[in-house]
Amino acid sequence: MNAPGDIAPDLSTLARLQEAFASTIPHVDPATPVPWCGDWSVADLVEHLAQVHHWAAGQAVRREVALVVWSADDSVGGYRRAADEALTTLSATPPDAPAWTLDLSERAGFWHRRQVHETLVHLWDLRTAGGLPLDQPAALWADTVDEVVSVMAPRQVRLGRTTWPARTVALICDDADATWTLPATDAGSPAVTVRGPAASLALLLWGRIGPGDATLHVVGDHEALLDALGRDLTP
């Protein structure tokens, strides 16, 4: 893997993305479908991200939490309260403090990066469902790809939710100096290479777009790529 150096998202990035999400909510009909997220509507999406913020705040300080009591009539306020809880908790907790995490670090700093990418991908969901553009730095999207390759996919394998694909997939970023290789049971040369903007590579791994998207260029064994993408490499 060759990934951009020193681009770990910080809490100012999280705050910026949370504000963008909250500010977008009133501009998208809550009944709008989010078809790449199953049968979710925008209302479901907003509640989900609020609940994740609340849950992550508890994980960062090793505290069990109940679900947020949610009112669809106050989705903006409910989201802002949950977002503020996550941001305030993470700001007040030393990054090296013990925490419950999805990786093996067991340190609160894990949640800085995880919450940034959770919010970024769902901001894309919200704005795309509403027909609104989203412009975020390529380096940030590149770190979203890196998190899938280095954290989320290994966790899925570690928990027995999936297995590595048989053949190697290479990912090459066009707008950031970054390349990755998805691990495979066959450690040989990549069977297929996917090239495109960092955002498109991230959205491909998170199941938001398919390999036929016009922004992506696929060379090699397409079946190997489809096999890898079908293995639940993200939760």
| Per-residue pLDDT band at 7 (split at 50, 70, 90) | very low
pLDDT tens across 37-76, in order? 999 999 999 999 999 999 999 999 999 999 999 999 999 9
pLDDT tens across 70-100, in order? 999 999 999 999 999 999 999 999 999 999 9
pLDDT tens across 155-182, in order? 999 999 999 999 999 999 999 999 999 9
Residue 98 belongs to some domain of the structure: yes
122 and 22 share one domain: yes
Could you tell me which of 59, 68, 72, 57 has the C-alpha nearest to residue 25? 72
143 and 106 share one domain: no
- In the predicted structure, residue 233 carries a pLDDT above the cut 60: yes
Predicted local confidence at residue 2, as pLDDT: 54
163 and 93 share one domain: no
28 and 97 share one domain: yes
- In the predicted structure, residue 154 carries a pLDDT above the cut 60: yes
Strands 217-220 and 192-196, how do they pair?
A: antiparallel
In this structure, is the dihedral angle defined by the CA atoms of residues 33, 24, 213 and 115, taken in order, positive or negative? negative
Residue 212 belongs to some domain of the structure: yes
| Per-residue pLDDT band at 4 (split at 50, 70, 90) | very low
Predicted local confidence at residue 187, as pLDDT: 79
Number of domains in the chain: 2
Residue 1 belongs to some domain of the structure: no
Where in the sequence is the domain holding 114, given as residue range(s)? Answer: 11-129
Percent of the chain with pLDDT over 90: 94
Percent of the chain with pLDDT over 70: 96
93 and 196 share one domain: no
Distance CA 189, CA 101 (A): 33
Q: Calculate the dihedral angle through the C-alpha atoms of 123, 126, 128, 130, rounding to the nearest 10 degrees.
A: -140
Predicted local confidence at residue 5, as pLDDT: 40
148 and 210 share one domain: yes
142 and 117 share one domain: no
For residue 74, the domain's CATH number is 1.20.120
115 and 157 share one domain: no
| Per-residue pLDDT band at 18 (split at 50, 70, 90) | very high
The per-type count for the chain, helices as H runs and strands as E runs, is 8, 4
Q: Which of 3-7, 66-70, 114-118, 224-228 has the lowest mean pLDDT?
A: 3-7
Distance CA 139, CA 137 (A): 5
